[in-house]
Amino acid sequence: MRNKTGILLLTIVVTALCAYYLSFTFVSKRVQRQAEAYATDARGNVNTNKKFAYLDSVRKEPVFSFLGINYTYEEIQNSELSLGLDLKGGMHVTMEVSPVEIIKSMAGNSKDPNFLKALQVAHQRQANSQSKFTTLFAQAYREINPTGRLASIFSNTANKGRINYNSTNEQVIAAIDTEVNGAIDRSFNILQTRIDKFGVNQPNIQRLKSTDQIQIELPGVTDATRVRKLLQGTANLEFWEVWKAEEFSPYFAQLNAVLAKQEASAKLAAGKSPKTTPAKTSNDDVLSKAAAQPTIDPLTGKPVTDSATDSTKASTVASAKTDSTATDSLSANQSSQLAKLFTALPGGLGTNVRDTAKVNALFRRPEVQAIFPSNMKFLWAVKPIVGQDKQEFLEFYAIKKGRDGKAPVSGDAISDARQDFDQQGRPEVNMAMNVAGAKKWQRLTASTIGRQVAIVLDNYVYSAPVVQGEIPNGNSSISGNFTVEEAQDLANILKAGKMPAPTRIVEEAIVGPSLGQEAINQGLLSSLAAMGVVVIFMIFYYSKGGVIADLALFFNIFFIIGILAQFNAALTLPGIAGMVLTMGMSVDANVLIFERIREELALGVNIKDAIHKGYDRAFSSIFDSNVTTLLAGIILYFFGSGPVKGFAITLMLGIATSFFTAVYVSRLILEYMTRGKNVNNMSFSTVFSKNLFKNFNFNFIKYRKAAYIGSTALILFGFIMMYVQGGPNLGVDFKGGRSYIVNFNKAVPASEVRTAVLDEFKSSGTDVKTYGASNRLKITTSYLAEDESTQADETVQAALQAGLKQYSAESPKILSSSKVGATMADDIQKTAVVSVLLSFAGIFLYVMIRFRKWQYSLGGVVALIHDALMVTAFFAIGRIFGLNYEMDQVFIASILTIIGFSINDTVVIYDRIREHLTNHPKSKIRDVINPALNDTLSRTIITSLTVLFVVLILFIFGGETLRGFSYAMLVGVISGTYSTLYIATPILMDTIDDDKSTASATVTPKLATTGKVRS
């Protein structure tokens, strides 16, 4: 083998890296077990708040050391293999930013009838179109008012500099597009900040490519109502005057005296004498320490040079230079509580991040609130300042409220904000106000010269610049020690209050912790059972060769899990399914290699040459079959979402690692085991398998027409049954609506529950079926499916609970729920169709390039279409026998996986056909098809059986979530094997052979007698 040393080194490096990154997961689990032990009471109940408090307390503490490097729990947690929501429990939300409201706002809420009509038409068309809303709006307006000019509607002060009265319709739409994209970015930033403050471990938020949607995952969250309110609340941007340190420090002195007195009383009550500290030896007031420190930018936490503020003009607001005037000492007798909570920061007063909850609790106490004036309000900075010891501190701002308690200037005053550069080329933010806002801004800046003005979003301070002079025209620049990214972020924050971008939840899923634990158990059980079956079968069939294949399989699984950990990916239940499926498919490469080696050994070739030729001759088949399966995985990844994307990641990763382990790692092991005198100890057959399929010569082509007719009849029967059943059994993913999994103390009839809830759901389409156990039901309804509001969610759940009241004795409990809006469902349907069609097109193109004839592609793709239709038909046929599974996103994942599996098998046979034709150039396709099918039959059956065993285990032990997927795969594996033998290759023969009259089932005597073609 070439580059043996390089491959050995690569294997060692990858193994070491996987072990290194997986160690973080084990350490993290250990810390979490310690937290649970700490939070568990005598009765065995875990206090969640106490658990999170423990984890928060050790977040910055070293918990792991490797090669002298200490890792904190936070660093460990960021590098561990996390669990998806279906395994851990929590909430998954997909939010959509409404472009309608953005366009209305840009148009100044115009009442123009053509404008309003165009918005309505565009909204209606969006349900059946993949085009952007702005494109649909432009088309609708052009149809409604062909000579109309959008500039007459959008030319206003709010759009000054972007749209004027002479702008063309195309220029107006381009400006709207820019604003919509900006609104999505601002919404993303706002949601990210809100989620960070929500206190969820390892939240995930991402903007979905080419959409107006934002996807959010919140592990461990159980209060769905609170999350909905948090995510859908309107952004609140305000500008407040900030109290100077010398103005609010006297009140802290009073607070200190009160706390010191309370502590002294507590010590007296405990029989201890309070100690007093002389003023001359006491620590300076925590507020006064700021005077000797360099100025710190409150947004970035970085020191600022004087030049940052010297360059600011009279009409600018400099964000860098903060007020840090020294103040008097709080008291000779320092309160230990206050001293522990507050820290002097270069820009003012702050608190360690882990102590913010204690500070909030302190300031909620009535006796503390009585100390401070009614117009003083305390707010936290949004971003922490990192100290030299990696400790994080949040700045504490004293905000001056007005008489009415409202901010002097609010976000609706801003007409524009953008990142720019000053005269020295440093990043700054330019901000413009509308007419009304400019007047308010002038009054505020005139009264706050030399003072800070806090920029506050959702009650968190993003920046607190110092006003350098009165600003009469509403145009301001904020400069300081910004990076470009920080300036862009601040510009987005400022614009958040200017352009409302309402968001709505279009998809939602809630998984309870108990259901998550059940999924973990089922996933582990199915994984171990599948691995056991594959390991035993390979040894049973290939003897010592099977042991090598099993070692390669262990490496493969280890690499998959380790690489997932390296990329900090989340392991989901479909991901486990992908891993389990990889176990079955990964041995396919070794089966191909070992069958080739057995062929060489049967011809009398010595063991070392047989191994060399076996690996070389199997390589092209392995490579082509893996690429075609990889195509399906890539399409799944780009067009899938949520669990489907997790499945795709694991599948693609499994294909890559299985190729490496089967082709290279197994060869390293095999060559090591056959070195020297051990060469004759290697075997690739057992007593059972030695003569199995030997000289097998079945005439497959003879029955091709019967196969055509039989497949067509079966597919037609399935679709007729689907029509009789009222159409396909679509899941919530495809038809929209809400679904709930409800657990009862004992079994309850699904039909009776459906009758009970039907009246509450206003007789809307409702389906109730047993889900995994006789006492667990899945209730799906289209009631209020078009209404995606939070109020509708609560209405539907209330209706469900009202319908279940008669079963209160059985203690019905909602374990999980999911929602897909009607528009989202349409998008998912279209995406599903596109992904399947793209997979067909991609495979057609690749096979044609590799085999140089379109007939190969045609045969392969027709077989794939056959398999997809067969699986769909059997979903209807299965309902006759009580196998009632939904067609949803996971169903599409199974279809694409079947496509990958089926074309894999077809390509292996095509490769053998090509080899026969290369060795015998004068032979025709019809002469070599039967020998090729018989040559590869052992590989086809062994691979299919292995995958079939694995999928059967998934079907039995994988749980209800994966049962529909497993059922589809069971049908697909059988159909894929059949279609390779009786659809793909016969179609190749029927389309490529010119002499149709002789294209019979008979082959040349030479090929038929041996079943082999040798060079």
Centroid of chain to Cα 1014: 51
- Of 113 and 416, which is predicted with more confidence? 113
For residue 1006, the model assigns a pLDDT of: 40
Of the residues 80, 108, 133, which one is the last residue of a structural domain?
80
Owner of token pair 């309804």: 781
Are 199 and 247 in the same domain? Answer: no
Query: pLDDT exceeding 70 applies to what percent of the chain?
Result: 84
Q: How far apart are alpha carbons 43 and 469 in whole angstroms? A: 64
Give 39-88 pLDDT, tens digit per residue: 888 887 877 667 777 877 777 778 888 777 888 887 787 777 877 777 77
Among residues 586, 536, 538, 517, which one has the least CA distance to residue 558?
586
Q: List the domain range (segments joined by +) for residue 45.
A: 4-80
- The DSSP secondary-structure symbol of 665 reads I
Give 631-651 pLDDT, tens digit per residue: 878 887 877 666 677 778 888
Are 519 and 490 in the same domain? Answer: no
| pLDDT at residue 345 tops 60 | yes
Give 180-218 pLDDT, tens digit per residue: 888 777 777 777 776 766 656 567 777 776 566 788 887
Q: How far apart are alpha carbons 397 and 408 in whole angstroms? A: 17
Are 583 and 712 in the same domain? Answer: yes
Contact 453, 465 (CB under 8 A): yes
Are 482 and 360 in the same domain? Answer: yes
| pLDDT at residue 233 tops 70 | no
Are 228 and 242 in the same domain? Answer: no
For residue 871, the model assigns a pLDDT of: 93
**Which whole-number Å values give the CA distances from 663 to 54, 590, 659, 680, 935, in the listed order?**
48, 8, 6, 22, 21
Are 269 and 150 in the same domain? Answer: no
Give 238-293 pLDDT, tens digit per residue: 888 998 888 888 888 888 888 888 877 877 776 655 444 433 323 233 222 222 23
Residue 426 belongs to some domain of the structure? yes
Per the structure, how many domains does the chain have?
5
Are 117 and 21 in the same domain? Answer: no
Buried b (16+ CB within 10 A) or exposed e, 335-365: bebbeebbbbbbbbbbbbbebbeebeeeeee
* Highest mean pLDDT (candidates 2-6, 140-144, 632-636, 896-900): 140-144
Greatest CA separation for the chain: 114
Q: What are the counts of helices (DSSP H) followed by strands (DSSP E) for the chain?
A: 35, 26
Residue 505 belongs to some domain of the structure? no
- 985: three-class secondary structure by DSSP: helix
Residue 682 belongs to some domain of the structure? no
Residue 644 belongs to some domain of the structure? yes
Are 709 and 613 in the same domain? Answer: yes
Contact 503, 416 (CB under 8 A): no
Q: How confident is the model at residue 537 (pLDDT cuts 50, 70, 90)?
A: confident
Among residues 446, 485, 448, which one has the least CA distance to residue 464?
448
For residue 485, the model assigns a pLDDT of: 74
Give 317-339 pLDDT, tens digit per residue: 433 333 333 333 333 455 666 77
pLDDT averaged over the chain?
78
Q: How far apart are alpha carbons 542 and 595 in whole angstroms? A: 9
Of the residues 232, 247, 269, which one is the last residue of a structural domain?
232
Buried b (16+ CB within 10 A) or exposed e, 906-944: bbbbbbbbbbbbeebeebbbbbbbbbbbbbbbbbbebbb
Q: How far apart are alpha carbons 611 and 604 in whole angstroms? A: 13
Residue 1015 belongs to some domain of the structure? no
Question: 269: burial class by Cβ within 10 Å (0-12, 13-18, 19+)?
Answer: exposed
Residue 71 belongs to some domain of the structure? yes
For residue 1015, the model assigns a pLDDT of: 33
Please state the rounded mean pLDDT for residues 774-790.
Answer: 80
Question: Helices in 127-244 by DSSP H: which ranges?
Answer: 133-144, 151-154, 169-198, 224-232
Helix, strand and coil content of the chain, in percent to the nearest 5, comes to 60, 15, 25
For residue 209, the model assigns a pLDDT of: 64
Are 265 and 325 in the same domain? Answer: yes
Q: Which two tokens stand for residue 282?
A: 């006491």
Are 815 and 952 in the same domain? Answer: no
380: which strand partners? 396, 460
Q: How far apart are alpha carbons 649 and 428 in whole angstroms? A: 40
Rg of the chain over all Cα atoms, to the nearest angstrom: 34
For residue 979, the model assigns a pLDDT of: 92
For residue 314, the model assigns a pLDDT of: 30
Residue 75 belongs to some domain of the structure? yes
Q: How far apart are alpha carbons 292 and 325 in whole angstroms? A: 10
Q: Which two tokens stand for residue 1012?
A: 């082999």
Q: How far apart are alpha carbons 739 and 736 in whole angstroms? A: 9
Q: How far apart are alpha carbons 980 and 102 in whole angstroms? A: 53
Contact 123, 196 (CB under 8 A): no
Are 327 and 277 in the same domain? Answer: yes
Question: 605: burial class by Cβ within 10 Å (0-12, 13-18, 19+)?
Answer: middle
**Dihedral sign of CA atoms 56, 62, 65, 69 in order:** positive
Give 728-773 pLDDT, tens digit per residue: 888 777 777 888 888 898 888 888 888 888 888 876 678 887 877 7
- The DSSP secondary-structure symbol of 206 reads E
What's 998's domain CATH number?
A: 1.20.1640.10
- The DSSP secondary-structure symbol of 730 reads B
- 475: three-class secondary structure by DSSP: strand
For residue 877, the model assigns a pLDDT of: 93
Q: How far apart are alpha carbons 643 and 215 in whole angstroms? A: 12
Are 144 and 48 in the same domain? Answer: no
pTM above 0.85, yes or no: no
AA letter at 868: A
Of the residues 19, 45, 80, which one is the last residue of a structural domain?
80
| pLDDT at residue 1000 tops 60 | no
Kindly report the number of other CB atoms within 10 A of residue 294's CB atom: 11
Pairing type for strands 90-97 and 503-511 reads: antiparallel
Q: How far apart are alpha carbons 580 and 530 in whole angstroms? A: 7
For residue 719, the model assigns a pLDDT of: 94
Residue 686 belongs to some domain of the structure? no
Contact 169, 138 (CB under 8 A): yes
Element (H, E) at 559: helix 544-566
